Amino acid sequence: MRRRLALVGLTVLWLSLSGWSAGAVRASAEGRPPVGRPAGPGLLAGARTVDVALPVGVPLAGYGGLERRLRIPDVLNRYPYAFWFKPGTGTHDPITARALVLEGGGRRLLWLAVDLVAVERDMVREVRTRLESRGYRYDGVILAASHTHSGPGAFSRSAFLGFLAVDRLAPAVRARLLDAMVRAGEEAESRKAPARVGIGRGEVQGITRSRVGRPLDPEVGVLKVVGTDGEPIALVWNYAIHGTVLGKGNLLLSGDVMGAVSEEVEGALHVPALYANGAVGDVSPALHGWRGLHEISQALSSELLAAWKRIPVAAGSPLSVVSLRVGLPPPHLALRNCLGRGVPRWLTLGMGWAFPAESEMVAVAIGDSAWVTIPGELETQLGQAVKAEGRRLFRHAFVVGLANDYGGYFLTPEAYDRPSYIACASLYGDTGGRVVTERAKEILRTLYDLQARGT
């Protein structure tokens, strides 16, 4: 019990004080007609992968256990970038920022994929502001974290989050991450060219396991972007998996399995491969370690390259972007979810003074697909409900988790009611998952209506 209480105490500090908030389209089953868009400027696309020039000795983020902690905090300033955690011992594979810019019909989207455990909302604002100062204005920005637990730490402004899992802020580390994102965006802009897109889906089974004992989503989503000459420009891929293939004992910087897959695809296609995590709240990898990383990455990269070959592209793909503020239930920590069923349900700690009551979601329609961001980790069952609504309106629909903000886990009432790690870290009650799911459906309907009006 003492250990559980200590865990809850640390969780409260983390959660309370970290400052992390949380062409034509297919006719629907209801008989909505396919819609197009008025003739206008063709689609432009540019993409770029930038390696983040991290200094030697950056700690890794994602695990708070003793395996990665210093026995004694670095009060003697032996390490320039680490304090609570051991300095990283090197780099296994580059930490990257990947950018895709899409522009068409008077709209412009910036999509960034970065090898981090999560992103903070002020990162989105800072990147957008810096690019706007250079003359680039966007109707929407997506900043998607891969959720690797072997990426760099020391980037968060939260002292308590730093203590628990990320290490305290090292301004030089944060600056280099943001510089890489901005540079990737700028270079993607400079590479814009007339483009066409194709969207498709594949499937990979057996490489994940459920945390709640329910069926998972094996779908691999693919956005294929090529020039009008057929030459590749970029690939965006979507799959739900936690970046925990490499364990707590690893001290080498790595994008984990998501980074390995993107690197393999980039080696074959010679263009950026942006990863977008899915509804990952209840999804863990089924294999672990370097061997597990190799086996999972081979399965995913093989499916992605096969999908790339079979997906056709279409001219005149419409582009629409919608942003929506999402009001969330009052944030609180349910002690029962952390300590066990013997704790009364009413025993909670209000978190409204530390966590916002709203977040932002972004939805993008490109070609006959729709993509909607989630500010945290959505349970598979809820993600499937979002996809189903999207496919009622569009041919393809995908969930982009851990994007633009982080509000913890969003679960079904059943999963929330079962004490566990993910239920403990679900901050918006048993209705939080439903609220986010319904708002995701709403923004998809808004996106459809925009395309129907040709606006």
Tens of each residue's pLDDT in the chain, 455 residues: 334 434 444 444 344 333 333 322 222 222 333 333 333 458 999 999 999 999 999 999 999 889 999 999 999 999 999 999 999 999 999 999 999 999 998 999 999 999 999 998 999 999 999 999 999 999 999 999 999 999 999 999 877 678 878 999 999 999 999 999 999 999 999 999 999 999 999 999 999 999 999 999 999 999 999 999 999 999 999 999 999 999 999 999 999 999 999 999 999 999 999 999 999 999 999 999 999 999 999 999 999 999 999 999 998 888 999 999 999 999 998 999 999 999 999 999 997 776 778 899 999 999 899 999 999 999 999 999 999 999 999 999 999 999 999 989 999 999 999 999 999 989 999 999 999 999 999 999 999 998 877 66
SS3 66: helix
Q: How far, CA to CA in Å, does 335 sit from each of 304, 319, 338, 342, 404?
A: 42, 45, 5, 10, 28
Number of independent structural domains in the chain: 1
pLDDT at 13: 39
Residue reference for tokens 């370097």? 290
Note the pTM of the prediction, 2 decimals.
0.90
pLDDT at 18: 37
Vertex 147 angle, CA 145 and 151, to 5°: 95
Report DSSP letters for 297-322, one per residue. Answer: HHHHHHHHHHHHHH---BSS--EEEE
Other residues' Cβ atoms within 10 Å of the Cβ of residue 245? 30
pLDDT at 179: 98
pLDDT at 161: 74
pLDDT at 160: 64
Q: Which two tokens stand for residue 263?
A: 């690197």
Left (φ > 0), alpha (ψ -120 to 50) or beta: where does 138 sit?
Answer: beta
How far is C-alpha 321 from the chain's CA centre? 18
Q: How far apart are CA 55 and CA 91, in angstroms?
A: 10
pLDDT at 32: 30
The β-bridge partners of 349 are: 333
Query: Strands 369-373 and 377-378, how do they pair?
Result: unpaired
Cβ neighbours of residue 63 closer than 8 Å, sequence gap 6 or more: 149, 165, 247, 248
How far is C-alpha 398 from the chain's CA centre? 12
Q: How far apart are CA 299 and CA 415, in angstroms?
A: 29
Q: How far apart are CA 121 and CA 117, in angstroms?
A: 14
pLDDT at 157: 83
Residue reference for tokens 């990455």? 297
| Residue 351 domain boundaries | 2-453
